[in-house]
Structure formats: structure tokens, C-alpha cells
Amino acid sequence: MSPERVVGTLTKGYESIMSAATPANRAALAMFVVAEVHPFTDGNGRTARVAMNHFLTQAGLTRIIVPTVFRDDYISALKALSSNAHPVPLVRMLACVARFSRWLNMTSMTNCFAALTQSNAMQRPEGCSAHL
């Protein structure tokens, strides 16, 4: 996207986000808008997920962590929506990682990292299957 269109596109995107019917829809739209507009030279994915988690947290819902092992699936789902307006893969992906995020034991950093290790969540996608 050309730099001169970023602010206007983000403004319109924000209007769409705020008109979404549910907090989960607002969260998913926020993530998608930031990822699609790509307003920064670096950190767009992280910023997109922070925006998503802002809306989830605001609604009292579980924040979503996208494990490294699911990175390729996450990128493919974003591309499916971006390239041909096919939202189902992203909806399924977010539902999957939301279940994973609820499963994580967040009572301490030690417990969380043990669960991440047990599930292979921090492994590269090639040749690894995550335990959910």
C-alpha cells in the first residue's frame, strides 16, 4: 500500500472494526486490518496481534497466542482472506489458537514455558506436529 493511503485506510478499517457485531469479530478485524495495511517497515504481525489482543482483553476474553509451529498456517489463512476474501481459514485458525491459548497454564512463567515445550509450540513448522 502506498504510504499516503495508510492513515485513511487505517481510519476506515477502524470504523469497520468498531461496527463489528462481537468483540471476537472486532479482534479478528483489528488483527487483519493492521496486517493487511502493513503500516510499518517491521513488526506489523506483532502489532496486528497486539491490536487483536487489545479487543479480546477489553471484552474479558482470552488473549490469543499464535505458536511458532502454526506460523505457516496463520500466514496462509491471512493470505486466503487477503487474496480472495475467503475468511473461513482465518476463522478456523483463530479458533484453533484460541483453544490452544486457553489450554496454556499461565499461573507462572515456568508453567507456561513447560506447556509451550510440551506442546512443541515453539518449534519451527517443518516436520513438527503440535499437541493440542
Domain boundary, last residue among 63, 90, 116: 63
Cα–Cα distance for residue pair 51/91, rounded to 1 Å: 16
75 in the same domain as 55: no
125 in the same domain as 82: yes
Using the 8-state DSSP alphabet, how is residue 69 labeled?
A: G
**Which ranges of 85-125 does DSSP label H, i.e. alpha helix?**
88-103, 109-118
The angle, 0 to 180 degrees and rounded to 10, between the axes of the packed helices 88-103 and 71-84 is 150
125 in the same domain as 85: yes
Question: Structurally, how many domains does the chain consist of?
Answer: 2
**Residue 54 among the catalytic residues:** no
Cα–Cα distance for residue pair 45/50, rounded to 1 Å: 9
Report pTM. 0.83
Domain extent at residue 98: 67-132
Distance of CA 49 to the CA centre of its chain: 5
Cell triple for residue 45?
Answer: 504481525
110 in the same domain as 76: yes
Q: Residue 21, Cβ neighbours under 10 Å: how many?
A: 7
Cα–Cα distance for residue pair 1/47, rounded to 1 Å: 17
pLDDT tens track of the chain, all 132 residues? 788 899 999 999 999 999 999 999 999 999 999 999 999 999 999 999 999 999 999 999 999 999 999 989 999 999 998 888 888 999 999 999 999 999 999 999 999 999 999 999 998 876 444 444
Residue with cell 487477503: 82
118 in the same domain as 73: yes
Cell triple for residue 102?
Answer: 486457553
What element of type H or E holds 57? helix 44-58
